[in-house]
Structure 1
Amino acid sequence: MKKIILLIPFLCFNLSLQAQEKETTDEKTSIFERKHEVRLGAIKLLAGGIFEGAYEYIIDSNQGFGAYMLVNFDSSSDWFENYSLTPYYRMYFQSNEDYGAKGFFVEGFTSFFSSDFDFEDVVFRNDDQKDVFDIAIGISLGKKWINTAGFVFELKVGAGRNLLGNTDSDAILKADFYLGYRF
């Protein structure tokens, strides 16, 4: 009986040590093992009052998926999109396996956006502006850098084709410099 009574506190103490050890290993997760990333489009925000935020889920070291959300707060700007939601799938091409989801990438995207369309009626001689919706599908190329603290720097350029034909242009451009954090 004395052995059982002495064994119970020893087991409880041992379990509490293992629980604390688990917490410290979770805190020291490598930056390349983290799966979530948020980014902010810096050039559009500084130059024109256009907010573009992004979220990416890292599937593994070679691929990820996510979405961009754009809101144009400056109605007088020349940027064609007022609002957009752009889901994407991304493939990374990095030769070193130590680096996860960084380096050169190719991205396929589908953009759902609303835009202002200037409509000129030559019969009634008036100009109207309509808010139209369109969908575009396209591809982007870029490069992503990550420092050891988890800060992300990304440069991306891409183009897509408008599918519905509701806008002035047949194509869209996706480009910016992004700042973010991986967690």
Structure 2
Amino acid sequence: MKTKTVIFLLFISTFLNAQKNKEFSQYLNKKNEIKINLVNLIDSKFIDISYEYLINEKSSIGIETLFNFNSRNKDISKLNNLTKFSLTPYYRRYFSKKYARGFFIEGFSVLKSYEHYSFNETEHHPYKYIIRDKIEFSLGLSIGAKFVIKEKFVADIFLGVGKNFINYNDYYFKDIGRGGISLGYRF
């Protein structure tokens, strides 16, 4: 009788463990995501693309790149700074019972290149400006949520803040913001 009970319990535990593994097994071959940030595309007309690798059901790493392909604004007097390029690596920790989705906290860093415009008004040249290329490095935290539709389409919404450590002064870019609504594909 004891042997039959032990065999039955082993069978049940193996079956239950297989069910749990089956639940996550559909995700094991889909560990990559590629996304585009719609907020930057619509609002700033920047191309903001990210790649995310799912380490396991609770964490992921990724990198986001932002490119500005727009030429300079013709009315330069309305500009202070123009981002040219940024690179944002990040780590996310998910707090849902489902595989790499739901509420998350993100740690990120940003390496950003931009053109800084200084204005020098004189009698002869009322809108003379000086352009300087600048680079900044920032660290920060974000919170957000990831939604997965039909196990292959993803949507992220996130918002965060960070602090610059290189090339800031008291007026420009001491603190930075990060946010967006991204749509993408999991494969």
TM-score, normalised to structure 1's length?
A: 0.74
The change in CA–CA distance for 1:46 and 1:162 in structure 2 (over 3 A counts) is same
Q: What residue in structure 1 maps to residue 49 of structure 2?
A: 53
User: Partner of 2:153 in structure 1?
Assistant: 151
Deviations 1:63-101 (A, max 9, x none): 00010000012243967522001111111111x2xx111
**Aligned counterpart, 2:113:** 114
For 2:46 and 2:93, locate their aligned partners in 1 and report how far apart those are by CA, in whole Å. Answer: 27
Cross-structure match for 2:100 = 101
Task: Provide the alpha-carbon RMSD of the alignment.
Answer: 2.5
- Could you tell me which residue of structure 1 aligns to residue 178 of structure 2? 174
Trace 1:20-169 onto structure 2 (pairs within 5 A). 30-31=26-27, 34-74=30-70, 75-76=72-73, 80-94=82-96, 96=97, 99-120=98-119, 126-166=128-168, 168-169=172-173
Contact 2:134–2:167 (CA under 8 A) maintained in structure 1: no
Alignment coverage as a number of residue pairs: 152
CA contact (8 A) 1:36 1:182 kept: yes
Separation of aligned partners in 1, 2:151 and 2:100: 15
Give the whole-Å Cα distance in 2 for the aligned partners of 1:41 and 1:82. 16
> How high is the sequence identity, in percent, across the aligned residues?
29
CA contact (8 A) 2:135 2:167 kept: no
The whole-number CA distance in structure 2 between the counterparts of 1:122 and 1:180 is 46
Q: Secondary structure of 2:39's match? A: helix
Structure 1 runs (4+) deviating above 6 angstroms are: none
- Range with bigger deviation, 166-175 or 29-38: 29-38
Paired AA for residue 184 in structure 2: G
2:18 is matched with none
After alignment, is 103-112 or 126-135 more displaced?
A: 126-135
Question: What is the rounded CA distance, in whole Å, between the counterparts of 1:52 and 1:119 in structure 2?
Answer: 27
**Structure 2 residue ranges without an equivalent (≥5):** 1-24
CA distance in 1, matches of 2:82, 2:91: 24
Distance, in Å, in 1 between the alignment partners of 2:120 and 2:163 is 26
Counterpart Cα distance in 2 of 1:153 and 1:33 = 19
Q: Structure 1: any 5+ residue segments left out of the alignment?
A: 1-28
